[in-house]
């Protein structure tokens, strides 16, 4: 065993280097084009400020909903009012807000529209991250406060410090997500000349006027990575367990009203905007659905097929990977730690890195590079879900089966894998909608013939086909919401 240890260490070192290679290549190429950075520092400030403000808004709204649900002892069924906002692709939600705000004569473009769309989509993420922490950390303290009559500011001072690590971790996760978000700024920012670093990298990458598109995009990606690094140090989100039943419900009506109001603003309002533009003629107001015209666009049919195939294939491969590694918990955890870099860092870095790394190979400009990008970007999510299942004691039950004479593989087949089903479903629930909704990687890595449905939406908008874009958005929204039918457990991880 001692002789094998250096080989195992070498294997993990080489694997880590291989997984990190796109980022290493990006950093090397970006260092050669640092001269562009002084010209984009103002846009870096815009990206940083938007990500910070957006994270605080999402944390405030999602944390407030989590607190109300916690105090009201709301049943998990109420989460169904929040999950659609998360499942709807963010750029589709942005498109919905664009059309809905125009209906009420409000300016949809610019900073305000970006922050509104971000808050609507990512506040449920903050809710899902914070609700378990409230249950595990605050419930006992709250019961003790009620028993001993601690109220007002003293109660706040007792409850906030234990929650602070979870708040910091949730803020870090939101900041990283918003800093790398491409779809919402592309829909609501570019028409108003509001650039973020991801949209700027995209513009430079495809700019015919740039003397070195790849180098400039790599330098911008390097700057984006530097802005992301501090958030990587904020730690991981702790999990929670249900609180004791002794906790008395409070604020029940306020919690239910808040959940319904959020669903109306974050889901129904943009849905009305999309439906109004897709079903009715913009100029005459006549009922004239645009779905037929959208379906006639070759890019839409091809994009739908590619999106479904890529999402299903990536999810299936990651499921298979998780199942193969489940009996080897240590290897699963180490691989997840290796792959975390591509899940946590903005997708723009991975996209540019893969272009630099694979441009000389036959994989470039094919659907396979998109599949590879999806696998690298979302593998950690699936493996995290598997880890959550293994931490629930499944391995001990498998060991009991082996004590009663079951062979290792058969014990996992009969006991371990059936008990992992809820966590597999949770992994699918996390990965599949993200693959369907993915736009950053798709917009930067697609080639003719490998366009996704998100690329079709952007192409329709750029071509002035606003009603067709709304129709495509509704199609993608319907596909995403079908995932509410997937049984799930422990989707937070």
pTM score above 0.85: yes
What pLDDT score was predicted for residue 263? 94
pLDDT of residue 68: 92
* Structure letter (DSSP) for residue 280: B
182, 439 Cβ separation under 8 angstroms: yes
Query: Which class is domain 15-485?
Result: mainly alpha
Higher pLDDT: 92 or 414? It is 92
Does residue 76 surpass a pLDDT of 70? yes
User: What are the residues facing 287 on neighbouring strands?
Assistant: 280
- Tell me what percent of the residues of the chain surpass a pLDDT of 90: 31
Average pLDDT of the segment spanning 173-188: 92
Q: What is the pLDDT of residues 267-300, one digit of tens each?
A: 999 999 999 999 998 888 889 998 998 899 888 8
Alpha helices in 236-366 (DSSP H): 252-263, 269-279, 291-295, 298-325, 329-344, 347-358
Domain boundaries of the chain, sorted by first residue:
15-485
- pLDDT at 242 > cutoff 60: no
**pLDDT at site 250:** 77
Q: Which residues of 459-473 are buried (b: 16+ CB within 10 A; e: fewer)?
A: bbbeeebbbbbbbbb
**Mean of the per-residue pLDDT values of the chain:** 84
Helix, strand, coil share (%) of the chain residues, nearest 5: 80, 0, 20
> Residue 296: CB partners within 8 Å, gap ≥ 6?
none
| Whole-Å CA distances, 144 to 156, 209, 222, 241, 249 | 13, 66, 49, 18, 15
Q: What is the pLDDT of residues 444-485, one digit of tens each?
A: 898 888 888 888 888 888 888 889 999 988 888 887 777 666
């Amino acid at each position: 065993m001692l002789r094998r240890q250096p080989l195992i260490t070498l294997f993990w070192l080489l694997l880590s280097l291989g997984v990190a290679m796109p980022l290493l290549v990006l950093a090397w190429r970006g260092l050669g084009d640092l001269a562009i950075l002084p010209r984009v520092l103002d846009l870096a400030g815009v990206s940083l400020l938007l990500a910070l403000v957006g994270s605080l808004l999402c944390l405030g709204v999602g944390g407030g909903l989590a607190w109300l649900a916690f105090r009201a002892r709301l049943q998990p069924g109420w989460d169904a009012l929040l999950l659609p906002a998360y499942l709807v692709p963010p750029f589709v939600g942005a498109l919905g807000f664009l059309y809905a705000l125009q209906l009420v004569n409000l300016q949809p473009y610019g900073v305000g529209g970006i922050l509104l769309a971000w808050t609507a989509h990512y506040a449920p993420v903050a809710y899902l991250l914070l609700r378990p922490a409230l249950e595990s950390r605050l419930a006992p303290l709250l019961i003790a406060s009620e028993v001993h009559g601690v109220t007002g500011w003293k109660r706040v001072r007792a409850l906030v410090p234990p929650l602070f690590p979870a708040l910091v971790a949730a803020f870090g996760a939101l900041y990283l997500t918003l800093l790398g978000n491409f779809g919402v700024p592309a829909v609501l920012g570019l028409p108003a000349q509001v650039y973020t670093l991801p949209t700027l990298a995209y513009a430079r990458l495809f700019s015919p006027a740039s003397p070195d598109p790849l180098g400039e995009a790599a330098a911008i990606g390097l700057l984006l990575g530097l802005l992301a690094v501090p958030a990587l140090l904020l730690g991981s989100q702790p999990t929670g367990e249900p609180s004791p039943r002794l906790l008395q419900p409070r604020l029940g009506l306020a919690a239910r009203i808040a959940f319904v109001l959020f669903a109306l603003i974050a889901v129904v309002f943009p849905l009305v905007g999309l439906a109004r533009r897709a079903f009715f003629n913009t100029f005459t107001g006549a009922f004239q659905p645009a779905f037929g015209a959208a379906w006639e666009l070759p890019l839409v049919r091809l994009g739908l097929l590619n999106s479904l195939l890529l999402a299903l294939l990536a999810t299936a491969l990651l499921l298979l990977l998780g199942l193969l590694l489940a009996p080897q918990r240590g290897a699963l955890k180490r691989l997840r730690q290796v792959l975390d870099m591509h899940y946590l860092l903005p997708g723009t870095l991975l996209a540019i890195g893969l272009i630099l790394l694979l441009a000389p190979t036959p994989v470039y400009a094919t659907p396979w590079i998109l599949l590879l990008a999806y696998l690298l970007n979302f593998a950690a999510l699936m493996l995290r879900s598997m880890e959550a299942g293994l931490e629930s004691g499944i391995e001990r039950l498998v060991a009991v089966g082996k004590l009663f004479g079951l062979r290792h593989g058969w014990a996992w087949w009969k006991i371990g894998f059936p008990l992992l089903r809820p966590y597999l479903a949770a992994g699918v629930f996390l990965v599949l909608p993200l693959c369907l909704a993915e736009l950053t990687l798709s917009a930067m890595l697609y080639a003719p013939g490998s366009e996704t449905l998100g690329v079709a939406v952007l192409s329709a908008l750029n071509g002035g086909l606003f009603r067709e874009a709304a129709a495509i958005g509704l199609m993608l929204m319907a596909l995403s919401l079908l995932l509410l039918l997937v049984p799930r457990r422990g989707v937070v991880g």
